[in-house]
Amino acid sequence: MRTKPLIEQHFHGAFGVDFNTASTDDILFLSKKIKEYGIGGIFPTIVTDSVENTKAAIAKIKKAATLQTADMAKIFGIHLEGIFLNPQKKGIHNPNYFMPLEVENYKLIEDEFIKIVTLAPELDEGLLEYLTEKKVKIQAGHCVGGDLTKCSGATHLFNAMSGIMHRESSTTLSALIDDDIYIEVIADGVHVCDEALKLVFKTKPQDKIILVSDSLPIAKSHLKEMMFAGEKIYYDGIRATSKAGTLAGSTSLLSDIVKRLADLNIFNPAWIDNPYNYHDIDLNYEIEWDENWNYVK
């Protein structure tokens, strides 16, 4: 069977390459390597860091995007997951670098190559309106608020956000019932249990589901531990966590997740098109899968 290439919009790295610290050559290597796994486009995702380090990472990703060749997964823009988060749902992020959701703070790192910003909308101090004017995708994540009216998406549903509650609104509940909101889902079997996945797939319009890996640099590498977001991460063969046990991201690539969902008989091939529609992008080629949803290189 043939489909469009996979688009990965929440991707911190793999094969030992971390977008927060990678060189331009590292980024080019990674974009070439992941194309061998059916991934045709990426939004390199940056975690919370200092303004100086964030600007340096953006500059290297932008430079890599200008040097890409046809055998690489295309870099469509940057996903900024950090700085404007709620400390109550910080996850693996370093709260020492968090800043208020003010336009002047965003301008410290602003770049036209930033296409997605994950933030806590309940803490907004004027930033959401500014990002909307700039046509940047606003995604609720690492947050507790239930008002998503100014958001276009929700980042890694269930994870690092207020969950489903029956007496008050929450981020997860609002994202599920709002048919206009796109939702990211990490369907690796670690971040969201299969029963919850089935609830999501029954609840959301099929054209608003975006599968993501939230892949860590430790994925597809020989490493069992590494520094990420300023903290040491340990990989036990199934999950990657901090010393305290906080999940730091996935160790699967998006093609692994497609295969896993297909094995569970809950994969909808229509979901492959959703990131294309969300970002109004295209890639003019198709890829091949076998009958068991293994990517055919």
* Domain spans of the chain, in order of start: 2-296
How confident is the model over 185-222, as pLDDT tens digits?
999 999 999 999 999 999 999 999 999 999 999 999 99
Q: What string of H, E and C letters represents the secondary structure of the chain?
A: CEECCEEEEEECEECCEECCCCCHHHHHHHHHHHHCCCEEEEEEEECCCCHHHHHHHHHHHHHHHHCCCCCCCEECCEEEECCCCCHHHCCCCCHHHCCCECHHHHHCCCCCCEEEEEECHHHECCHHHHHHHCCCEEEECCECCCCCCCCCEECCCCCCECCCCCCCCCHHHHHHHCCCCEEEEECCCCCCCHHHHHHHHHHCCHHHEEEECCECCCCCCCCCEEEECCEEEEECCCCEEECCCCECCECCCHHHHHHHHHHCCCCCHHHHHHHHHHHCCCCCCCEEECCCCCEEC
**Predicted local distance difference test score (pLDDT) of residue 166:** 87
**Predicted local distance difference test score (pLDDT) of residue 270:** 96
Query: Tell me: domain 2-296, CATH 3.40.50.1000, correct?
Result: no
Alpha carbon distance 38, 52 (integer Å): 34
Confidence at 52, pLDDT banded by 50, 70, 90: very high
Alpha carbon distance 96, 149 (integer Å): 28
**Predicted local distance difference test score (pLDDT) of residue 192:** 97
Q: Quick check: 297 pLDDT over 90?
A: no
Tokens of 266: 């809950």
Rg, the chain, Cα only: 18
Q: Is the pTM of this model over 0.95?
A: yes
Taking each helix axis from N to C end, the angle separating 51-66 and 24-35, rounded to the nearest 10 degrees, works out to 60
Q: Name every residue whose Cβ is closer than 8 Å to that of residue 22 and which is 6 or more positions away in sequence.
A: 13, 30, 57, 60
**Predicted local distance difference test score (pLDDT) of residue 75:** 98
Please give the share of the chain, as a percent, with pLDDT higher than 90: 98
